[in-house]
């Protein structure tokens, strides 16, 4: 009986009780029934038992329906946090006080779970940013100084070197200069100094301009509305989502034009659009194109947005470009 529903179990027990009561009543009153009357009495008794069982079934189904609704909500809850748990759904209708309390406790448990997940995720992101900051500082202070010393030594050596070596030394110097520029670019990507020094709009404008120069793609930055004051966390989310989106476009989209739009109104919205090859709708959901698991980084961007209390959406079709949208309330 354990594998059956609660409704079936209670109804079965009540049916047994009613039948047992009917049998006892029949035995006690046996001497009052004659042959014909006994048949009519048994028929009437059976009809009464049937009506009692039917009424019992209807009442139990009505009273247990809120529990079934609550179980359905529990089954629908996304405990992994991928799409958000439906704890704001309406409480079961016609629920008893106990079921209402159980529903409220379940909602509170889901809310605590989401809050704890968000705090843990934010701590991880802060640790990642701190590690990026330290790495960028080491690249700038240590490796960059070493490359600068190499360039100065090469410059001094070129003047004293014989003519047969000067061309090769100049080529080596050019390679060292290229390495230094790439190093500084990586350091800026790891920790955008423009975001700290000049704010989000200037940092995005610099990022988009650098992307266009580096890739040859026509890229426009379109700020709209009066610039709102955003928290450091929200600024960093907008910057990182833009950075990852542009990286995806450069690697996979084969695009000719890119628009990065940042609008401020009742909410902050970032929209990155390209006219590239696009991808299948299912990739927009899991971010894993066939043969390249997780290659688009969409899950990471979606997780950043969720931890910041925002919404992340991807609109794309094969051959029709891609639009990535981030909304922060």
pLDDT in tens, 203-243: 999 999 999 999 999 999 999 988 778 888 888 899 999 99
Q: 67-76 pLDDT, tens per residue?
A: 777 777 777 7
Residue 325 has pLDDT above 90, yes or no: yes
Residue 11 has pLDDT above 80, yes or no: no
Average pLDDT of the chain?
A: 78
Q: 109-138 pLDDT, tens per residue?
A: 888 887 887 787 777 777 877 787 788 778
User: Which residues are bridge partners to 326 per DSSP?
Assistant: 270, 312
The packing angle between helices 35-76 and 97-138, to 10°, is: 20
Residue 2 has pLDDT above 60, yes or no: no
Give 268's pLDDT tier (boundaries 50, 70, 90). very high
Task: State how far the alpha carbon of 25 is from the alpha carbons of 33, 41, 116, in Å.
Answer: 12, 11, 61
Give 262's pLDDT tier (boundaries 50, 70, 90). very high
- In this prediction, residue 258 carries a pLDDT of 96
Residue 116: phi, psi to the nearest 5? -65, -40
- Collapsing DSSP states into helix, strand and coil, what is residue 201? helix
- In this prediction, residue 80 carries a pLDDT of 55
Task: State how far the alpha carbon of 185 is from the alpha carbons of 18, 180, 207, 257, in Å.
Answer: 83, 9, 10, 22
Report the pLDDT averaged over residues 156-178.
86
Four-residue CA torsion sign, 189, 193, 196, 198: negative
Closest CA to 329 of 247, 269, 245: 269
Q: 33-56 pLDDT, tens per residue?
A: 554 455 666 676 677 777 777 777
């Amino acid at each position: 009986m354990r594998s059956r529903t609660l409704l079936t179990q209670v109804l079965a027990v009540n049916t047994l009780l009613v039948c047992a009561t009917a049998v006892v009543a029949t035995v006690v009153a046996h001497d009052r029934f004659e042959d014909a009357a006994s048949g009519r009495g048994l028929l009437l008794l059976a009809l009464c038992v049937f009506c009692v069982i039917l009424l019992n079934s209807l009442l139990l189904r009505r009273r247990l329906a809120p529990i079934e609704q609550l179980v359905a909500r529990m089954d629908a809850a996304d405990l992994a946090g991928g799409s958000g748990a439906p704890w704001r759904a309406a409480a079961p209708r016609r629920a008893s006080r106990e079921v209402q309390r159980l529903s409220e406790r379940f909602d509170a448990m889901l809310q605590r779970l989401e809050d704890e997940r968000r705090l843990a995720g934010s701590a991880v992101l802060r640790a990642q940013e701190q590690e990026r900051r330290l790495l960028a500082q080491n690249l700038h202070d240590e490796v960059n100084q070493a490359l600068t010393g190499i360039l100065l030594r090469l410059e001094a050596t070129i003047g004293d070197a014989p003519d047969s070596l000067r061309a090769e030394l100049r080529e080596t110097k050019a390679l060292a200069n290229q390495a230094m520029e790439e190093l500084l670019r990586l350091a800026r990507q790891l920790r955008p100094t423009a975001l700290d020094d000049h704010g989000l709009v200037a940092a995005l404008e610099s990022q988009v301009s650098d992307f266009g120069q580096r890739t040859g793609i026509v890229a426009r930055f379109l700020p709209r509305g009066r610039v709102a004051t955003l928290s450091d966390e929200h600024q960093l989310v907008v910057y990182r989502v833009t950075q990852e989106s542009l990286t995806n476009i450069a690697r996979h989209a084969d695009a000719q034009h890119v628009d990065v739009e940042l609008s401020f109104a009742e909410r902050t919205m970032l929209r990155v659009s390209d006219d590239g090859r696009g991808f299948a709708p299912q990739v927009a959901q899991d971010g894993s194109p066939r043969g390249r698991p997780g290659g688009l980084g969409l899950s990471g961007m979606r997780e950043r947005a969720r931890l910041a209390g925002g919404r992340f959406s991807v609109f794309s079709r094969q051959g029709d470009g891609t639009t990535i949208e981030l909304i922060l309330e």
